């Protein structure tokens, strides 16, 4: 508990004791007023002060005003104990709220624990401990077992296993060998490794995640905006209703003023909207926090709300539904040796970060000599054009060969084909194949079960490959041989066709699909190691690259929305009933206080459920 909360707790206890004492002391008239005023002043001075300050600022109608008016009114009608009690319980509710908000902030802060505190940099053969911000890209750092990896980089010596749970929610450690990428924020478990950093701290995975989560609550959902607007109108209406209730009946019937004023005051206490005003944002906050603990970073409540209504899910193929790690199954040169063709392909692909490029380079097995390349062009959806040893070489699909005017031959075998040509002379092709991710199929099944009616795969790859993946996963439709702008057109068409009220989610690995990510209702980028542009454009970022996390995200979003709805219905329902009873004179101040604070406490407790991590299927 924070110091402030502790102080408030002490204040509540002392006021409660003073209230009890005031009750027991037999007194009358002004003396009685004074002895009740002591606990009232102690427990309520800040509410009175805030109410007065807000009136001066012109923002009259808030909960401070309601509480001040109700309790001062109760004093005026001689209900001293009630006045103190209302204030006391109001403060109990406030304290509870602060603790709940603090707790959910801390749970997100548990994720914030990923912030590394130091880096052991090796400079001139000497190891020094400095802050991660001071390490440049390309430096070598030593990460000992038990230490948090401070910066993104590549292992240059040693091998170990790494705990990624804080980022991905995945509890099984990941084995990392020399040459593998490691991500900042994860923990080195078993042995020391040397890492060559690939970015500075400000651009590392850790800083990007922290930034994302910290900014998430700024993007409000429709429900939150509704509640804020609702409270703005609701409070003045209630005050007017309470005033009418206190004034009109006695005027009409003549007399009975105290009783009706009392009913008006009760009305004020019950109608305080704090349960809604706090619990709805708290539920979203919890939902975002719970999701981030599962490795799903949601950039705002609006995205969470939209995710819950998913109807169409569009997937990119390579690297999203499939591993994106191709194995070379055949090399067919026209007039050079197989090795030579593979080496040339690897060289042409040297600068590309496309999964195909990485697979070809690793199949060739060497490090391409980049000095032989004088220029390089990535043609999204087609392939690569590079100037190698002064001659233009292209590597890519059939579309690219047509662009180059090369006469190519297409193999009859299944697989993705990378054709090569020098100028317009065809050099042959390499057949590569990719495996579907192990959990893709289960993910599609679960999404269907969650009511996503239309699962679509878009790909730049050939129809035959697309069809194979599509049928093995049970997708509803596939579109193949698309260039990036055709993918955007497809998504636009699907957006126009989707069921009203449902949303379209696009899931991509971030390699050349930033435009589609931005265009869809919700863009989900997979693998936080993907490109920065994709993480920028996405609304949701998955820390790992499992398609099943999409389904988990939908489930978490639905749970959050369910909690929000429960709170709204519950709070409005209870208040409505108590308000009606109060108008009829069937309640008293005590019932009102319990209705108000009790509802707030229950709603907050319910909101906290959003933070829990569900069992992963």
Question: Interface residues with ligand ADP (CB under 6 A)?
Answer: 316-318, 349, 352, 354, 356-357, 381-384, 395-397, 416, 418, 459-461, 511-512
Which CB atom, from 318 or from 462, has the smaller least distance to Mg ion?
A: 318
Residues near Mg ion, by CB under 5 A: 316, 318, 511
Burial tier of 597 (Cβ tally within 10 Å: 0-12, 13-18, 19+): buried
How far apart CA 293 and CA 612 sit, in angstroms, is: 9
Residue 461 C-beta: closest distance to Mg ion, Å: 9
Q: Locate all alpha helices (DSSP H) within 254-397, ordered by sequence.
A: 257-270, 274-293, 301-307, 338-348, 355-364
* Beta strands 119-123 and 140-143, pairing class: antiparallel
DSSP E strands: which ranges in 434-574?
Answer: 454-458, 477-479, 503-508, 522-526, 540-542
How far apart CA 136 and CA 124 sit, in angstroms, is: 14
CA atoms within 13 A on the CB side of 597: 19
How far apart CA 588 and CA 594 sit, in angstroms, is: 10
Residue of this chain nearest to ligand ADP (CB atom): 460
How far apart CA 338 and CA 335 sit, in angstroms, is: 9
How far apart, in Å, are the Cα atoms of 525 and each of 477, 531, 617?
A: 21, 9, 21
Residue 419 C-beta: closest distance to ligand ADP, Å: 9
Residue 509 C-beta: closest distance to Mg ion, Å: 6
Yes or no: say if 309 and 503 are a contact pair by the CB < 8 Å rule. yes
Residue 354 C-beta: closest distance to Mg ion, Å: 7
**SS3 for 59?**
coil
Residue 360 C-beta: closest distance to ligand ADP, Å: 7
| Cα angle, residue 72 at apex, residues 68 and 73 outer, rounded to 5° | 115
Residue 450 C-beta: closest distance to ligand ADP, Å: 24
Binding partner at 396 among Mg ion, ligand ADP, none, C-beta below 5 to 8 Å by kind: ligand ADP
Binding partner at 397 among ligand ADP, Mg ion, none, C-beta below 5 to 8 Å by kind: ligand ADP
Which CB atom, from 206 or from 361, has the smaller least distance to ligand ADP?
A: 361
Per the listing, tokens 């705990």 go with 163
How far apart, in Å, are the Cα atoms of 228 and each of 6, 105, 352, 488, 595?
A: 29, 21, 49, 36, 21
Active-site residue identified among 62, 152, 163, 316: 316
Which CB atom, from 64 or from 318, has the smaller least distance to Mg ion?
A: 318
Binding partner at 67 among ligand ADP, Mg ion, none, C-beta below 5 to 8 Å by kind: none
Q: Which two tokens stand for residue 253?
A: 């019937």
**SS3 for 309?**
coil
Helix-then-strand count for the chain, H and E: 20, 22
Residue 333 C-beta: closest distance to ligand ADP, Å: 16
Which CB atom, from 434 or from 596, has the smaller least distance to ligand ADP?
A: 434
**SS3 for 120?**
strand
Provide the CA 129 distance to its chain's centre, in angstroms. 33
Residue 511 C-beta: closest distance to ligand ADP, Å: 6
How far apart CA 112 and CA 375 sit, in angstroms, is: 42
**SS3 for 58?**
coil
How far apart CA 265 and CA 245 sit, in angstroms, is: 9
CB crowding 220-248: b at 16 or more within 10 Å, else e: bbebbeebeebbeebbeebbebbeebbee
Based on the residue annotation, tell me whether 316 is a catalytic residue of this protein. yes
Residue 318 C-beta: closest distance to Mg ion, Å: 5
Binding partner at 381 among Mg ion, ligand ADP, none, C-beta below 5 to 8 Å by kind: ligand ADP
How far apart CA 419 and CA 410 sit, in angstroms, is: 9
Point out the residues that are catalytic: 316
């Amino acid at each position: 508990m924070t110091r402030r909360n502790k102080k408030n707790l002490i204040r509540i206890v002392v006021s409660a004791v003073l209230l009890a004492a005031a009750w027991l002391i037999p007194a009358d008239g002004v003396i009685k007023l004074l002895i009740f005023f002591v606990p009232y002043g102690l427990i309520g001075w800040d509410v009175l002060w805030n109410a007065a300050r807000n009136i001066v600022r012109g923002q009259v109608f808030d909960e401070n005003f309601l509480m001040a008016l109700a309790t001062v009114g109760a004093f005026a009608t001689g209900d001293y104990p009630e006045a103190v009690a209302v204030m006391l319980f109001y403060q109990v509710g406030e304290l509870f709220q602060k603790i709940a908000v603090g707790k959910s902030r801390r749970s997100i802060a548990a994720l914030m624990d990923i912030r590394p505190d130091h880096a052991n940099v090796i400079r001139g053969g000497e190891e020094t401990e400095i802050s991660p911000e001071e390490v440049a890209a390309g430096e070598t750092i030593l990460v000992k077992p038990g230490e948090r990896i401070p910066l993104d980089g590549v292992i240059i010596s040693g091998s170990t296993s790494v705990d990624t749970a804080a980022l991905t929610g995945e509890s099984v450690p990941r084995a990392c060998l020399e040459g593998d990428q490691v991500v900042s924020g994860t923990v080195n478990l078993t042995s020391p490794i040397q890492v060559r950093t690939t970015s500075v701290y400000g651009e590392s995975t850790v800083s990007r995640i922290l930034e994302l989560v910290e900014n998430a609550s700024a993007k409000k959902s429709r429900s939150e905006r509704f509640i804020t607007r609702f409270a703005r109108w609701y409070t003045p209406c209630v005050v007017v209703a309470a005033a009418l209730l206190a004034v009109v009946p006695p005027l009409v019937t003549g007399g009975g003023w105290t009783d009706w004023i009392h009913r008006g005051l009760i009305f004020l206490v019950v109608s305080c909207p704090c349960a809604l005003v706090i619990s709805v944002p708290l539920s979203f906050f919890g939902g975002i926090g719970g999701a981030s603990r599962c490795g799903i970073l949601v950039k705002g409540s609006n995205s969470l709300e939209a995710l819950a209504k998913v109807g169409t899910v569009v997937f990119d193929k390579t690297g999203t539904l499939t591993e994106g790690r191709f194995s070379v199954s055949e090399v067919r040169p026209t007039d050079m040796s197989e090795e030579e063709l593979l080496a040339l392909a690897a060289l042409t692909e040297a600068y590309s970060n496309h999964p195909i490029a990485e697979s070809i380079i690793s199949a060739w097995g060497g490090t391409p000599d980049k000095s032989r390349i004088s220029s390089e062009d990535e043609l999204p959806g087609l392939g690569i054009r590079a100037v190698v040893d002064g001659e233009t070489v292209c590597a890519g699909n059939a579309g690219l060969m047509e662009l180059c005017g090369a006469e190519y031959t297409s193999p009859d075998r299944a697989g993705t084909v990378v054709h090569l040509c020098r100028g317009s002379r065809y050099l042959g092709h390499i057949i590569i194949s990719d495996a579907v991710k192990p959990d893709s199929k289960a993910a599609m099944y679960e999404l269907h079960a969650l009511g996503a009616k239309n699962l679509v795969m878009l790909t730049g790859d050939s129809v035959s490959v697309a069809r194979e993946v599509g049928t093995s996963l049970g997708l509803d439709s596939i579109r193949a041989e698309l260039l990036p702008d055709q993918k955007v057109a497809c998504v636009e068409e699907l957006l126009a066709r989707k069921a009203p009220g449902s949303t379209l989610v696009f899931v991509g690995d971030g390699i050349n699909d930033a435009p589609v990510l931005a265009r869809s209702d919700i863009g989900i980028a997979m693998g936080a190691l993907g490109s920065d542009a994709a993480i920028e454009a996405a609304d949701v970022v998955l820390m790992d690259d499992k398609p099943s996390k999409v389904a988990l995200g939908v489930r978490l979003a639905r749970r959050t929305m369910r909690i929000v709805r429960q709170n709204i219905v519950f709070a409005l329902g209870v208040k409505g009933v108590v308000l009606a009873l109060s108008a009829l004179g069937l309640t008293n101040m005590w019932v009102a206080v319990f209705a108000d604070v009790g509802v707030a406490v229950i709603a907050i407790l319910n909101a906290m459920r959003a933070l829990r991590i569900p069992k992963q299927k």
